[in-house]
Amino acid sequence: MKIRSIAVRQVLHYEAFQLDLDHGGLHILHGPNETGKSTLLALIMDLLFGGPIAESFRDHYDSRSRLEGVIERSDRAVYRIERKRRYNRLVLTDADHAELPEDTLARYLGGYTREPFALLFGFDHERLRAGGQSLLDSQGQAGISLFEAGGGVQYLTKLLGTLADRSAQLLDPSFNARSAKELNKQWRSFIDTQKSLKQSSLRAEEWHRQRQEIFLSEQRAEQLEHQLADADAAWQKVARLLRVRPMISEWLAMKQELEELGPASVSPHDEENILTLLKKHGENTQSQARAEEECRRQAQRAHALHPDPKATSMADSIERLSEGLMQFLSLRDTDLPAAREQRQKRKAETEQRLQELSPGTSWTQIDQLRLPLTALNRIDTLAEEIAGAHANYALEKAQREELIEDSAKVEKDLEALGPIYDVSHLSRLIRTIREEGNVQGKIAQANRDIELKQQAIDQRLRQQTLYAGSLRGLKMLPVPLHDTLERYAAQWASLEQERSDARRDHQTLRAAAVSLANDLEVLELQGEVPVPSDLLEARSLREDAWTRVKQSWLHHVLPEGVGPQDLADDFAQRLANADRVVDAMRREADRSANRALLLMKQEQTRQALADNAKRRQSLDIQFSQLETLWAGEWQPCGILPKSPGEMREWLSAFHAPLVLMLGELDASEADRAELVQHQAQLRQALATAAQEAHCQAGDALTLNEALEQCENYARAMGERDLKRRALWDQRRVLETKIHARTQSLTKWEQQLQLQGKEWESVLRAYPSLPPRPQDALHYSQHLRELLRGVQEIEQMETAIRTSEEICHQFERQALAVAEQLGENLAEAASVESWVRQARQRMHNARETEQLLHSIEAEQARLRGEADQHGAEAGLTAQQLQHYQAQCHAADLAQLSAQVEISRQRRNLAEEKLSQERRIRQAADGMSVDAIVQSLEELGDPDTLESQKIALEAEQDGIRGDIEREKDHLQTLQTAFAHINETHEAAAAFAQQGQQHLAEVDRLWNEYLRVELARRLLERSIEEFRERNESAILHRAGQLFRRMTLRQYEELLVEYDGSAPYLLAVHADGSRRRVFQLSDGTRDQLFLSLRLAFVEQHLAGSEPLPLVMDDILVHFDDARTQATLEVLHELGQQTQILYFTHHQSVVDQAQQLAAHDHLHVHYLRPQQPVKT
Amino acid sequence: MFKFVHCADLHLDSPLRGLSLREDAPAEAIRSATRRALDNLVDLCIEEHVRFLVIAGDVFDGDWQDYSTGLFFNACMARLTARDIRVYIVSGNHDAASTISRKLLLPGGVHRFSSDQPETFVIDDLQVALHGQGFKDRVVTQNLVPQYPLPVPGYFNIGVLHTSLEGHEGHETYAPCTVHDLTAKGYDYWALGHVHTRQVIRDTSPCIVYPGNLQGRHIREIGDKGCTLVTVDSGRIDLQHRSLDVLRWALCEVDLTGTLRAEDVVGRVMSVFQQTTAANPGYPLALRIRLTGQTALHGSLLAESEYYLNEIVNAAQQSAIDRIWVEKVIFDTQSEESGQSLPDRTDAISELDRIIQQTEVRPEFLELFASEMQTIQMRMPDYVRSEGSTVIASAEEVRDLVSDARDVLVAMLARGGGQP
């Protein structure tokens, strides 16, 4: 498919825009910034795919907006697209603007929707960079790189990582007990809650068991209580008897005494009457005598008294005088002299004030000076205001002058501060250097490290003697490869083992040979023993003899010099010898067999020794050859090697660590060099910055010293700057204050002028006033004082006159009373002494009169009392005589004795009854008779105490048991009460458990989804690679070669372990991994892969236009040119729309050798149709 | 006239399942929810002045071990008997398996029907006869109804039975019987238990009623839960359902057809939340959200499920603070796009799609994955045994997951790769 034309109406600033792209090929759409290039690009996508309007474009479309275009399929089928806005979507419409289904376009768009189309056929430089970056992220893994290029996606490594991370974050499949994975944690929490649930659950059996225990305990406690009650009853009985036993004894004694007293002679009633009468008669007689005596004594007292009736009659007048005396004395002696003196003093003061205020004015002219009170108040106020205004004015003025002085001081301080330079750059640099740490210290540390490493290397080197070359040589030492070493080690070990075995075999054989020889010798020493060879030899000799006998016998041939007899004898002897051997063998069969065996073994051993010797010799030769070869392996190293094992040890113990240490040393030295260089750079940067900041940091200083100096300088400069800012602030504040004070002074001046005018008008109204306001205030105060003094003097004189009148009146009254009493006041020392004497006389007269009255009353009372007692005594005497006759008593004394005996008997009877009551109470209500009976039944009452002690012990024992049982019961009840409550803990744990289980479910489902997605993606990536690797890489390699101007020849895949990686083969033959490519080259690699996939698509599917947004901005000119050539060629297969705002791209495109498929469109700025 | 309450399937202290640990959760509402529901039952009985309470089985969970639960039940029953409200209990399959049920000493005034044979309790002053037989064992497969006694003449006869009738989905078949068996017995009311969803099988004499359980405990026990208040007046029977639950479960389907932005999703979800909260005023809710419909956000929903989950939880908070607990969100939407994978495409994403589709028919990959997951599952036996768990038993279960995994991958890749 290709786009033949695009028309835009009423969209953003496109009122009516038409773009004809009638042809295929490479269309370059050039437009500077603000020409709506990006908008047009988005509109093309909207035209093709419609659908939801992007949020950012939502305001760009309205009901008038239309997108139209014509597209043409490869089979020449043409479709006219028209789109309009419907709600928030762009819908496809027909010529009548009726909505059409999107499927209508599907055949033209290859079934692609917006997003996949954008990914596969849309190119922009950001995604190109992202693609290059993604290649780097995946380190050029072939599968990921191809998948990303094939799908137009990026950061697949990150996606895989995200999935893997999430999967790992969710679950540890080993369910390690300490795993912090989300699912594992939730699972553990679930298990924990299940345990807690179990622990907190109350078992029914437990509840019933505890309840039964309580029941049993209660029963035991009840039994014990019964036992205690029985023991208590027994104890009570014994205690009772013990308690009442002494009381019973007393009761028995009373009973006997009563019997002895006999019957009563006087009734209790008469007894009481007689005793009362006797007592009454005695008392009346005594009272009569006492009253008569007292009456006589009172008469004597009255006779000794002398009354004063005149004084008594004048008592009221004397009382009044006495009451007024104190006032009189006070007025006369104190108040009047003091008032007169005060009046005099006040008058003198007032006169003086008058003279001061108005010299020459007399006392009588004072009224002329009086002023109205309102005027006086106004004068005071005005004078005070004027005085206040003057004071404020002076204060403001003084403060302003102080401020001016301060301002001058600040200016001086500012001048004294000196120049201040900008140290911000220097400070930033210092901070940067400080943040990097102590570079100098690091260098020192690096030096120490290097020294230590050097020492360690030397020490390690001295510990071995094999290598005596240089250290650097050690690093490059061509030591045999590991495999070689292992091969030699194996051979060496094998040969050594074989040699060792051979030597051991030799020794074993030697020992066996010696042993066999010994055994044979032992056999021989025991006597000669034939062996089969002896028999064979004997038989052979016999056969020889027989042969000669036969020859002689049959052929008549005799050996020379031997006769027939000799032959026969010889034959017989040899026959006998053979028989002897046979006999011996038969007789010594075991020893014979043994010896034969030993001999055979001896032979075998000998043979084995010989073989062993050959083998050892052969092994020695092989070993020698191996040694030579081994030494040859080490010859380039200049080392005479020890065994491979030892050399392996040497390599691992010395060489490898030394190489490692040397590597570390080199690395440390490189680090140090880097640090030194960095230090120098920092020092230089610091010096430059210091110079800029006018800081004199000496060149000879170290970095730290310079840093410190610069820091101090920067700090000082900073402080100075701060101080300057503070002084500026201070100056600004002072200026503000001075200005405020100046304004205030002006205000006060104006006020003073107004007040002066008012004062002048006052002066005109009251000429007596002094001209100066401050004096007027003083004047008014004095005038007030003067007038107040005059008023006070008048009041004083009135008071003096009143007091004098009171004194005179008192003296007149005293004279009148004296005359009535018949006394002469003039003869008295003073009025007051006379008044006191009169008062004393009056008091004496009154007391005497009162005393006489009381004595007379007492005498009358005493006389009545004596008469009454006498009458009563007579009456009681008569009554007693009646009883005396009744009791046959001779006199009152005898009557009294009889009454006393009767009383004793009755008291004893009452005491006996009381005792009985006490006994009953003490005996808990038992009758006395019952107790007496119990005691009599008891026999020996002395055993009561011991019985009581025994019972108490028994009680204590039972009580202890009860207490213990109650404690036990309490414990049981407490425990049971706890479990018998309706706890919710288990239910809460169960609920918690379900919550954890729900989390487990959620996480498990997520894990399944994520893990499965991860595995599916990995599998898809790998399958996609296998399917596309060879074809795509071949084509992408060709494109890459062209885009990189043949700097890179081809693209390959090489395995690092099991993982395939992309490699770019450089023109110099080197193979470079993705991370070894520059950023730009990597972008070009990604573009090559993408274009290769596009070509693959074109080969089998409906071609779709490529939409490119300035993808060449980071390409250099030559590669831009090369890439444009590639695109131009690709444009012959499918339409390419290349948007750019770089004229250079257009220029370079137009320089293409053949540009018959090149179309350049210049976009012009559009007038906005909306704002 | 008299009233009684019929309830069943208390499952006291049975935890609410499937609720994750979330800050937005109405935690107080779920703590001992079944106990609070029982409290509500007792309060109702007292307020309505009922004369007796019938519990048609399954007071306790069969495997529940904490005897405190029994003590709590007794305390509640004691509140009733103190007000002269008698209680009649028949044991269900769970009670038969429950140690608590067997060992619990019921307070006076609480009567448990025999498990050996049918038993009748008579309330003479009300002229009521209750007939019932409990489960002796956890599994009772025979029909118990034929052995129930004949009705007491002149009395209001109530049959109490724990049964699945002729079978109910989600409930095992115990003490099976037919409605005809029940009606033929001549009783006036059948108080049934075992099925957790309220059902009035017959509303005329004999009434046959499943009151449902007192408190929903998981997403399969949705809606209003409680008991049946029965009023008997001169032979007329009035049935009223009374809510007793303290937290409700609901399944909310949210149609996302045509949605373009995340805000649209949130808007629709909030609308459903508002409807659901309005339908259950005052109740804390545990909601399962199922997102359906064809939407352009299909890929985004799958690839950023965590984000959408958080948005939905947030919407729940906004709709009703501390009242909504999002139990789970099920992403069941479909893509708007069609024909994404055409056979002639060679790009990587199409290849990925193709490879995954091939994987679905390649057993070795699925079997390997299943095998590894089974090894992991063996470390979580309690989870595997729990209801509703995702258990990988064979390659078939993995095949079901592949589609989801594929959608996630395509969605992530469609955005250009691992970097959003």
pLDDT at A1171: 28
What distance in Å separates the CA atoms of residue A1124 and residue A867, rounded to the nearest whole number?
170
Is-contact A858 A298, C-beta < 8 A?
A: yes
**Phi then psi for A559, rounded to 5 degrees?**
-65, 150
Q: How far does B17 lie from chain A, in Å, by closest CA? A: 5
Is-contact B380 A187, C-beta < 8 A?
A: yes
Complex prediction ipTM: 0.90
Q: How far does A503 lie from chain B, in Å, by closest CA? A: 58
Calculate ∠ Cα B260-B265-B270, nearest 5°.
150
> Cβ of B68 and A979 within 8 Å?
yes
Q: How far does A236 lie from chain B, in Å, by closest CA? A: 45
**Residue of B351, B383, B416 lying closest to A1000 (CB–CB):** B383
Question: With an 8 Å Cβ cutoff, is B398 touching chain A?
Answer: yes
Q: How far is CA B71 from CA A226, A979, A981, in A?
A: 34, 9, 7
**A210, A1001, A1015: best mutation site toward chain B, by most B Cβ within 10 Å?**
A1001
What distance in Å separates the CA atoms of residue B12 and residue B77, rounded to the nearest whole number?
13
Question: With an 8 Å Cβ cutoff, is B338 touching chain A?
Answer: yes
Nearest to A150 by CA among B348, B121, B263, B201: B348
Spell out which residues of chain A touch residue B389, defining contact as CB-CB under 8 Å. 1001, 1004
Is-contact B54 B158, C-beta < 8 A?
A: yes
> Cβ of A991 and B15 within 8 Å?
yes
> Cβ of B347 and A110 within 8 Å?
no
Q: How far is CA A1016 from CA A30, A134, A272, B124, B361, in A?
A: 44, 20, 134, 74, 13
> Cβ of A1012 and B386 within 8 Å?
no
> Cβ of A1001 and B18 within 8 Å?
yes
A-facing residues of B in 265-324 (CB < 8 A) are: 296
Spell out which residues of chain A touch residue B351, defining contact as CB-CB under 8 Å. 150, 1020, 1023-1024, 1027
Beta bridge partners of B3: B231
Which residue has 């026959």 as its token pair?
Answer: A575
Spell out which residues of chain B touch residue A988, defining contact as CB-CB under 8 Å. 31-32
pLDDT at A1127: 92
Listed in sequence order, the residues at least 6 apart from A1038 whose beta carbon sits closer than 8 Å to its beta carbon are A1050
Q: Whole-prediction pTM value?
A: 0.55
> Cβ of A1019 and B355 within 8 Å?
yes
Question: With an 8 Å Cβ cutoff, is B366 touching chain A?
Answer: no
Which residue has 């090929």 as its token pair?
Answer: A25
Q: How far does B252 lie from chain A, in Å, by closest CA? A: 19
Spell out which residues of chain A touch residue B382, defining contact as CB-CB under 8 Å. 190, 194, 997
Spell out which residues of chain B touch residue A103, defining contact as CB-CB under 8 Å. 338-339
Residue type at position A1076: Q
Nearest to B260 by CA among B227, B293, B286: B293
pLDDT at A482: 80
**Phi then psi for A1088, rounded to 5 degrees?**
-60, -45
Spell out which residues of chain A touch residue B342, defining contact as CB-CB under 8 Å. 110-111
Spell out which residues of chain B touch residue A119, defining contact as CB-CB under 8 Å. 347, 349, 414, 416
Question: With an 8 Å Cβ cutoff, is B385 touching chain A?
Answer: no
- DSSP β-ladder status, B294-295 and B285-292: unpaired
**Residue of A111, A158, A1001 lying closest to B339 (CB–CB):** A111
Beta strands in A43-158 (DSSP E): 51-52, 66-72, 78-86, 89-93, 99-100, 122-124
Q: How far does A1070 lie from chain B, in Å, by closest CA? A: 31
- Terminal-residue alpha carbon distance, chain A: 36
**Residue of A151, A175, A206 lying closest to B349 (CB–CB):** A151
**Residue of B72, B260, B375 lying closest to A88 (CB–CB):** B260
**Residue of B328, B373, B419 lying closest to A1008 (CB–CB):** B373
What distance in Å separates the CA atoms of residue A204 and residue A980, rounded to the nearest whole number?
11
Listed in sequence order, the residues at least 6 apart from B155 whose beta carbon sits closer than 8 Å to its beta carbon are B122, B127, B128, B129
| Long-range contacts (CB closer than 8 Å, 24 or more residues apart) made by A1056-1063 | A1059/A141, A1060/A141, A1060/A142, A1060/A143, A1060/A1025, A1060/A1029, A1061/A139, A1061/A140, A1061/A141, A1061/A142, A1062/A135, A1062/A140, A1062/A141, A1062/A142, A1062/A145, A1062/A1033, A1063/A140
Question: With an 8 Å Cβ cutoff, is B1 touching chain A?
Answer: no
Split at pLDDT 50, 70, 90, the class of B247 is: very high
Spell out which residues of chain B touch residue A202, defining contact as CB-CB under 8 Å. 66-68, 71
pLDDT at B418: 53
Q: How far does A181 lie from chain B, in Å, by closest CA? A: 14
pLDDT at A635: 84
Spell out which residues of chain A touch residue B344, defining contact as CB-CB under 8 Å. 1100-1101
Higher-confidence position of B42 and A895: B42
> Cβ of A198 and B65 within 8 Å?
yes
CB pairs under 8 A between A and B: 243
> Cβ of A204 and B328 within 8 Å?
no
A-facing residues of B in 109-148 (CB < 8 A) are: none
Q: Which residues of chain A have pLDDT under 50?
A: 1167-1171
Does the CA dihedral B274-B276-B281-B287 come out positive or negative? negative
Q: How far does A9 lie from chain B, in Å, by closest CA? A: 25
pLDDT tens, position by position, B110-169: 999 999 999 999 999 999 999 999 999 888 989 999 999 999 999 999 999 999 998 777
Helix (H), strand (E) counts: chain B = 13, 17
Split at pLDDT 50, 70, 90, the class of B420 is: very low
Percent of chain A residues topping a pLDDT of 90: 17
pLDDT tens, position by position, B331-380: 888 877 654 445 566 777 777 878 777 766 678 888 999 999 999 999 99
pLDDT at B244: 96
**Residue of A203, A988, A1024 lying closest to B348 (CB–CB):** A1024
